Structure 1
């Protein structure tokens, strides 16, 4: 069900050091590093993310949480997005490929009723045309 999730950290340098070490002893390591966000996991898949809370637009003391749900195919990603919009969710990113994550990363992002960044992702590429 959960593909990956992320939290925001107020002491960015201390948080990176902390997660590097505590996750390292559990067999996880940095899989991706975007400067303001680091993804931890194994075998090229980042399943836990930390982000610099001071980067971007902070909307108060508790910034959004990011949760990505695993989708079975690209059509499920599209259904997730359109269902969320029909329920009044704010669209963040329409379904598309995200090659900056990996070549077959197909995802869509919305903001849930509490302001969290919620995503559906399929790792097998976009719809066949």
Structure 2
């Protein structure tokens, strides 16, 4: 008996594996992401340089959980990523507030200060900052 299209098993839903952001000022962006992401439990897991150069500069870095794969890559380039909005899950309200403070201290700017936004995000506590290139980076907690 033939299956109808609705009965046929389809592919598993795609899962986002990683995001890459290009930064024109890599040093400034590294300081921002090191601080902001550390508040969310993410660490710099990878650094890449051009091994063909004698004194190579850092060209790419990645962050993820200490025991897992990288989820965010930052690469150097003349055309920075613009208009991106990334949202990270935080464990607690304190983590969201720490993320916000660290991001501002290390080159980020305020988009939305830590708060509950009951109209759109009922039951969530969040903060959104702009990275040095203007991308929106958000931390959200269920508390």
Q: The TM-score by the shorter chain falls in which range?
A: 0.3 to 0.5
Higher Cα Rg, which structure: 2
TM-score with structure 2 setting the length: 0.42
TM-score with structure 1 setting the length: 0.47
Report which of the two has the higher share of strand: 1
